[in-house]
Amino acid sequence: MNELRKTLLLAGAMLAISSATWLLEWLTGCLRFLTSLTLGSDLAATAGIAGTLVGGAAVFVYARMTRRWGRLGIMATLSALLGLACASVWVAPWQLAAVLVGAVCIPVALITRSHLWAITSDTRSPGVALRRLGIAAAAVALGPYLARIATRSIHWGRGGLLIGVFAGALFVVALLVVWVVQVGDRRADRSVAPDPDTPPGGRNGLSLVLRDSYLRLVAGWVVMTAIAGTLSTRVRDAVWAAAQHEGATDVDWGFRHRTIAVLVVVLVQLFIASRLARRGAMVAALIMWSVVLATCQVALVLAPHATTAELVYWPVTVADAMNVVATLALFLVVSRNESYDGRLAIVMVAHPVGVAIGEGARFGLSLLGAEERVVGMANTGVLAVTAVLALVVGRRFARALSVAAVPKAASAISATPQPGLR
């Protein structure tokens, strides 16, 4: 299959999955409000916690299921489960719909997206993989924006639950696209085994992460960025909420600027992706995220006003866009099995752990009577540690990438006819 066609098909699948995931999250917010009214408690939030546990448990059975059914069989199973669960939301009562979305649909959607990221980067050429990641990341940024536009005219009610059916249809479309790509690959090279480096005994993703020092560093990086990102978001939201309460800004600011922000994110990710293989580029991209967030955090602490919130919005948006592509690219130097199973463990275990630690730290500081300024200063220290970790992870990535390139270069030289060596 033509490389451009394959890249566009994978980007289309990522666009569909990111749109569907955002629709499910939007549906969760609506159901959270309804269940809190009918039950007097937040059933949707409880279902979300259950969904996190379901995603973590999936890490331990994913490798065994993959070995039995294959990568494409897993995609078919996940999409069928998602389609049925999303369709059931339409006919279910509010309470059951909240449980279905939070405990089943969203964790399975995250597993599917992690699987598709691994498929996108599953190529022998790092340059091709980086270009794919940049285009796919741009599609992921565009998906929620398009889904948000689609939901602006929806009036909540029983018809609102049709969003679940639409999200399920998007997941099925993404499966069909992936199926076309996989069939094209098999026809192009029938001699390539689907999983050449899968260990005979079989290890789950968490075991792979714990046994490999590089994957442990990547997991640590994801945990630290989740902690810092959670605390930074809470501080920015608090400043922005205070500014809106004081009448310093208008409601339409978010949507107008979000349109420009999506364009900025798409352009940044397309630009930075193909350049991460250059010397020192990965280290610079990872450290820049920590430096930009720390600078903006200090600015919000010193001047907690609406003007400051507007000013820091843009550099944080650019830094986040670079960090997304850079974090995805960290998996290019691991084996195929580690890319699929190890990535899933980091997405479903390490990232939720980081978010939980960040939320717990903020809640603990609030119990002690600490203001948002104290939370911001504490997060600045977290970002300093993150910057040091970024240096270590970036150097390990560059070293592994250079080592991986040596055999390819040597094989290319040996395959080239040399004068006097016929």
pLDDT digits (tens, 9 = 90+) for 403-422: 765 444 333 333 333 333 22
| DSSP code of residue 156 | P
Q: What span, in angstroms and rounded, lies between the C-alpha atoms of 257 and 313? A: 9
Specify if 387 maps to a domain: yes
| pLDDT of res. 259 | 82
Query: 135, 151, 186 — which closes off a domain?
Result: 186
Specify if 371 maps to a domain: yes
Per-residue pLDDT at 189 exceeds 60: no
Q: By residue range, what is the domain housing residue 365?
A: 209-405
The band of 205, judged by pLDDT with boundaries at 50, 70 and 90, is confident
Are 274 and 130 in contact, with CB atoms under 8 Å apart? yes
Q: What span, in angstroms and rounded, lies between the C-alpha atoms of 36 and 300? A: 33
Tokens read off for 116: 């598709």
Q: Are 98 and 133 within one domain?
A: yes
Tokens read off for 202: 């079989």
Q: How many domains does the chain have?
A: 2
The total of other beta-carbon atoms located within 10 Å of residue 262's CB is 20
The band of 166, judged by pLDDT with boundaries at 50, 70 and 90, is confident
Place of tokens 């999983």: 195
Specify if 419 maps to a domain: no
The band of 2, judged by pLDDT with boundaries at 50, 70 and 90, is confident
Q: What span, in angstroms and rounded, lies between the C-alpha atoms of 136 and 10? A: 7
Specify if 324 maps to a domain: yes
Specify if 230 maps to a domain: yes
Q: Are 140 and 220 within one domain?
A: no
| DSSP code of residue 394 | H
Which CATH number is 177's domain given?
A: 1.20.1250.20
| pLDDT of res. 217 | 93
Q: Are 215 and 118 within one domain?
A: no
Tokens read off for 124: 């022998």
Specify if 119 maps to a domain: yes
Q: What is the pLDDT of residues 306-359, one digit of tens each?
A: 777 778 888 888 898 899 999 999 998 888 888 888 888 898 888 889 988 988
Q: Are 43 and 144 within one domain?
A: yes
Q: E strand or H helix at 86, and its extent?
A: helix 71-91
Place of tokens 């679940």: 164
Place of tokens 């016929």: 422
Query: 186, 201, 219 — which closes off a domain?
Result: 186
* Residue 174: closest CA among 140, 151, 146: 140
Per-residue pLDDT at 207 exceeds 50: yes
Q: Are 235 and 152 within one domain?
A: no
What single letter denotes the amino acid at residue 273? A
Q: What span, in angstroms and rounded, lies between the C-alpha atoms of 33 and 338? A: 40
Q: What span, in angstroms and rounded, lies between the C-alpha atoms of 370 and 316? A: 24
How many residues can be counted in the chain? 422
Tokens read off for 106: 């969203």
The total of other beta-carbon atoms located within 10 Å of residue 303's CB is 13
3-state secondary structure at position 314:
helix
* Residue 82: closest CA among 115, 49, 53: 115
Q: What span, in angstroms and rounded, lies between the C-alpha atoms of 35 and 32? A: 5
Q: Are 235 and 301 within one domain?
A: yes
Specify if 193 maps to a domain: no
Burial, 378: exposed, middle or buried (Cβ in 10 Å; 0-12, 13-18, 19+)?
A: middle
Q: What is the pLDDT of residues 133-158, one digit of tens each?
A: 889 999 999 988 888 887 776 655 55
Q: Are 215 and 281 within one domain?
A: yes
Cα–Cα distances in angstroms (integers) from residue 212 to residues 194, 330, 334, 342, in the given order: 23, 14, 10, 10
